[in-house]
Amino acid sequence: MAQARPLAHPEKVDHSFKRVAILFSGGPAPAANSVISTCASSFEKSGIEVVGVLHGYRHLMEFGPDNPLQEGRDYLILDGHKLKRTRNQRGIIIGTARANPGKLIQSRDDLQDAEKTAPMKTTYEALLSLDVDALVSIGGDDTLKTANKFKLYQDTLPEGSRKLPVVHIPKTIDNDYNGIDFTFGYFTAVEVLAGELRNLLADAEASESYFVAESMGRSAGWLAYGAAIASEASLVISVEDITGELAGEEEWTNPKTGATETRKIMNIDGVVKRIVKTMCVRENEHNKRYGTIILAEGLAEMMPSSQLEGIPRDDHGHISVAHVDLGKQFAKLVAAEYKAQTGSTRKVTGLQLGYESRCAPPTAFDVMLGSQLGVGAYRAIVENKLNGVMVSIVGQLDLRYVPFEELVNPQDLVTVVRYIEPGCDFHQLARFLETYVQ
């Protein structure tokens, strides 16, 4: 049995790193600063200077001979003074953006195309101009895709070229990441949304009405389900639930490939009737004329294409779900269907929830989780000399390092979303707790 070393710091490791860069990309998440702060301080304690790249990849992509990176405008040196008491601070001390230097790279073949790799080349040269030896990327699945493409781009460089190891830290309040059980910020976001939903439930009871709340969760239902469970919602529906009579199909033209494909869509009428069925059971069997219904925003991607015309998309091809406004759309449909079935009226209010949770003060658990992930990036690069891995945690905050190739499809370089497995214990928990409908 190994001898314990009480109150002893980890032994220092020999290394050749002098400077590393940290950047954050995509939407905010609680405990972002826990990750950034602990990651930066870990490097600093080993004598490694830390460059905090401001606003994701945006400024790196604007780099050029006539536009060199400037300290204060494009990056910060994250020293002890700037990191002071930031671990529990809300927001993101280095900012964020959704700029994507890998947007044009859709396959490994594209890595040989100078025009498609031009933004990545600019990003690479920008980092070299900062004289960094490695990159820590923090962000969602799209940022993971970019980190992987950055590594693959460097693999194509001529022999002898300087190459920067890249390590990625998973971030999303949606919690839909493969390779890790829970992402930092998820539980804080659930708590914030659940608090608002509990307020809405009290409002609904007082006025004998319903709220249809659209919860963040672009692809999967983790956030919607967590908020529903914690807030005592009457019903939660996410993309994982669109099966059987709630699902349909349509022919559509894929905007990325231009090819005609068959896509799964939501049977809107079926979903509306399912919601009204819950309302009627609550009223007739439990004498409750109020409640909250939670819809995951990812359902917007399953709307018929005719209803998505004109909806803007981001650099990663995702629709702007805020423009769809599922909550308000379904509130109108549900109110009309309830009246058609019962002959009575019931006030149904639709709203969107999520943005207010992204920069909420992190819970203690998310600070702990984020801190371990931040330290894990340092340990991956300096202690383990790794490249092309995502920092992960299992069990009691035990670190694991997952290679990019296990997380990204090698053909189209796209990450695979982790959905709630239908019928799993987490999925059934919500079904046990919500209004029981035959």
**Cβ–Cβ < 8 Å for 358, 28:** yes
Of 31, 12, 46, residue with least CA distance to 373: 31
pLDDT band at 438 (very low <50, low <70, confident <90, very high): confident
Q: What is the pLDDT of residue 307?
A: 75
Ordered by start, the domain boundaries in the chain are 19-182+362-406, 188-357+420-433
Same fold, 19-182+362-406 and 188-357+420-433: yes
- Convert 220-265 into a string of H (helix), E (strand) and C (coil): CCHHHHHHHHHHCCCEEECHHHCCHHHEEEEEEECCCCCCEEEEEE
> Measured between alpha carbons, how far is 393 from 373 in angstroms, rounded to an integer?
7
* Whole-structure pTM value: 0.91
Exposure b/e, 208-241, CB count within 10 A at least 16 = b: ebbbbbbbbbbbbbbbbbbbbbbbebbbbbbbbb
Exposure b/e, 294-307, CB count within 10 A at least 16 = b: bbbbbbbbbbeeee
Angle (CA) 426-428-430 rounded to 5° is 80
Of 221, 215, 302, 293, residue with least CA distance to 266: 302
> Measured between alpha carbons, how far is 89 from 74 in angstroms, rounded to an integer?
21
> Measured between alpha carbons, how far is 136 from 167 in angstroms, rounded to an integer?
5
Radius of gyration, alpha carbons of the chain: 24
- For residues 88-99, average pLDDT: 95
Domain 188-357+420-433 CATH class label: alpha beta
Task: State the chain's mean pLDDT as an integer.
Answer: 93
pLDDT tens digits, residue range 23-64? 999 999 999 999 999 999 999 999 999 999 999 999 999 999
> Domain 19-182+362-406 belongs to what topology?
Rossmann fold (3.40.50)
Does residue 128 have a pLDDT over 70? yes
Residue keyed to tokens 């990204």:
408
> Measured between alpha carbons, how far is 196 from 304 in angstroms, rounded to an integer?
30
pLDDT band at 253 (very low <50, low <70, confident <90, very high): confident
Exposure b/e, 379-414, CB count within 10 A at least 16 = b: bbbbbeebbbbbbbbeeeeebebbebeebbeeeebe
Give the residue, 67 or 13, on which the prediction is more confident.
67
pLDDT tens digits, residue range 213-230? 999 887 899 999 999 999
